[in-house]
Structure 1
């Protein structure tokens, strides 16, 4: 058996009115295929160009190792110059990814290559973030701490994206006091005998190529796999639903700090307890569902 995933709708382009009515208001994901062809970035941005304009910048790298108690929130696993990282991407598969790299702060000239699109939502203009990955690298299934509306612009390479709404959380083996599911679940090819609740989750899937834009609604879980080396840029707009906005405030000002405190106090025991609870709580919910 496989995950229950439906293809995300694809549109050649969308007007602001169409986007708001058909996707934002009902909080449904969509891929817009030909929205940024007038951006200079559409023709300029590739790995070699990034190597030219940012080759001497030291970049933070992440891989798919499990969370450890002594690691800080979003603490990188390694660092190297962008020129060396691009060479690494082109040399073959690597698990190393760049995560949340602020293009405005690091290479201000890149801002000239794109404009902030008018989707009818106010975008946070100080936070255009770049994400890079090598062949077969991936992010754990997670949702963002601020539960923002995300516009994910893909450039070089091919990427597969799997999404779930917050309504499906009860089936995903969410780790308590965190934003991730169990890290030992392979969402690309899950073992549904080991993780039976997943077969009840209804999700969405899309493949992204150069120039595609993926809209990820507020608080959606997302798993990203780089089929080939490449990179994307995300722009975001704060959560509009009061429930999601209040959860974002809680995550940023309470949950994150509570988790950090417990890691310091309990060490690896805290991480192990959370992983065990993810399994037990999901099993308990499934038992209640069928009784």
Structure 2
């Protein structure tokens, strides 16, 4: 992987953001953006612990999804407070995925403001994510293809981003929004995944209060380095082609894969893995051929 530093600022004007990042769909890290919130001091695990009451949550780990189960089925359920105690007391790969605060903890809605950066937010689903110090999130892009403003709180987190045009080198699994499950983005094996070596992306380290703009369709891998959590504020795709792609992802590709997975289970998963390798290795051959031709000329 060829990883560059993402543009990083401590403040940015709406005009600068729109012209240089939103329109060209380029990521940017805005350090400490959440510190502008009046109730920033409430964005910590202690406050969440105080507010969740007796809620139970579904948890996910680093293992690939069981081919005999739905991909969104949690590996275990636990009292929210017990989970927070767990990740703060011992290394854990357990994480909470897509916790919609409008449905489960609406009082948090008054504790933040949507940054005025010039694009419209989809205010129905501000979403929380939690992870222990060993938690990883498989490389994926979001199925709704929205632009994201992603805030990190408490512990540090490493994020790896790739633009959509890098998909051919990432071993994308067909009819899905993720790459093959066994790529280690902390120590990639280029003998097994030679195409990955040519993927050009960004490496970002986020700290408490930082905000990362992730444009529509960007691939992202998250690694919690310490126990922490984040909130994603997203826009709804408005460009006609992006909206059509989103509808296709959500209502055609997603459900086709669910049906095939239910019918063929592990055979379907293995078939898609093989297809992912075949397509990326073909992309690598074409890429190397182009480089050779360019050098000869």
Report how far residue 242 of structure 1 moved. 3.4
Partner of 1:101: 99
Q: RMSD across aligned C-alpha pairs, in angstroms?
A: 1.3
In the alignment, which residue of structure 1 is the partner of 2:165? 167
Structure 2 Cα separation of the partners of residues 55 and 188 of structure 1 = 36
Which residue of 2 is the match for residue 245 of structure 1?
243
Aligned pairs for 1:26-175 within 5 A: 26-175=24-173
How far 1:282 moved relative to its partner? 1.0
Q: What is the number of equivalent residue pairs in this alignment?
A: 289
Distance 1:6 1:244 in 2: 26
Alignment-derived partner of residue 255 in structure 2: 257
TM-score with structure 1 length normalisation?
0.96
Q: CA deviation at 1:35?
A: 2.1
CA contact (8 A) 2:65 2:71 kept: no
For residues 108 and 149 of structure 1, the distance between their equivalents in structure 2, rounded to whole angstroms, comes to 22
Q: Which moved more, 1:66-75 or 1:88-97?
A: 66-75
Quickly say closer, same or farther: Cα 1:152–1:257, change in 2 above 3 A. same
Deviations 1:17-56 (A, max 9, x none): 1110111011110011132223244211211111111141
SS at match of 2:137: coil
| Local SS of the residue matching 1:86 | helix
CA distance in 2, matches of 1:208, 1:34: 10
TM-score (norm 2): 0.94
SS of the residue 2:275 aligns to? helix
Partner of 2:219: 221
Query: What is the deviation of 1:73?
Result: 4.2
Match of 1:233 in 2: 231
- Tell me if structure 1 keeps the 8 A contact 2:102–2:109: yes
Q: What's the secondary structure of 2:3's corresponding residue? A: strand
Partner residue, 1:274: 272
Note the residue ranges of structure 1 that are not aligned, 5 or more in a row.
none
Q: Which residue of 2 aligns with 1:290?
A: 288
Q: Name the SS of the counterpart of 2:47 in structure 1.
A: helix
Counterpart CA distance in 1 for 2:140 and 2:239 is 19
Question: Which digits, 9 at most, give the CA deviation of each residue in 1:255-276, with x for residues without a partner?
Answer: 0110011012212100010011
Question: Distance in 2 between the 1:203 and 1:131 partners?
Answer: 23
SS of residue paired to 1:153: strand
Classify 1:187/1:41 alpha carbon distance in 2 versus 1 (closer, same or farther; 3 Å).
farther
Matched, 1:7 2:5: yes
Residue 77 of structure 1 deviates from its aligned partner by 1.5
Matches of 1:90 and 1:67, distance apart in 2 = 25
Once the two structures are superposed, residues 176-199 of structure 1 have per-residue CA deviations (whole angstroms, 9 ceiling, x without a partner) of 010100110001110111111111
Q: Mark the CA change 1:290 to 1:38 in structure 2 (over 3 Å): closer, same or farther.
A: closer
Contact 1:11-1:32 at 8 Å conserved across structures: yes
- The alpha carbon displacement at 1:57 in A equals 1.1
